[in-house]
Amino acid sequence: GFEWDLKGIPLDQSSELHVVVKDHETMGRNRFLGEAQVPLREVLATPSLSASFNAPLLDTKKQPTGASLVLQVSYTPLPGAVPLFPPSASLEPSPTL
């Protein structure tokens, strides 16, 4: 897997992951195969801070190439960060007098 240091900047609902896929050539330039934008709001919407994506690869004209990128994305907030999902209230009934 890959990891990125977000330099202390937390993700928010507008955060996206921009992925560029290239065929690595040993000689000459690497060949562009496609790119995808992955909105990370789905990651933030889950208590596990993890989500799977099947993003279509787009060519240089933003048209589908027919291929797709399958990703599993997880987010680990900084230690001490405000939780995105506060602990739920106790489900035990309160005693009545």
Return all residues near 73 (Cβ < 8 A) that are at least 6 apart. Answer: 17, 38, 40, 43, 50, 51, 52, 53
Q: Please tell me the predicted confidence (pLDDT) of residue 84.
A: 58
Which CATH architecture group holds 16-74?
A: Sandwich (2.60)
pLDDT digits 0-9 by tens, 28-40: 889 999 999 999 9
Cα separation of 2 and 76, whole Å? 13
Percent of the chain with pLDDT over 90: 54
pLDDT digits 0-9 by tens, 77-90: 877 766 555 544 44
Is 96 a residue whose pLDDT tops 50?
Answer: yes
pLDDT band of 71, cuts 50, 70, 90 = very high
Q: Please tell me the predicted confidence (pLDDT) of residue 5.
A: 85
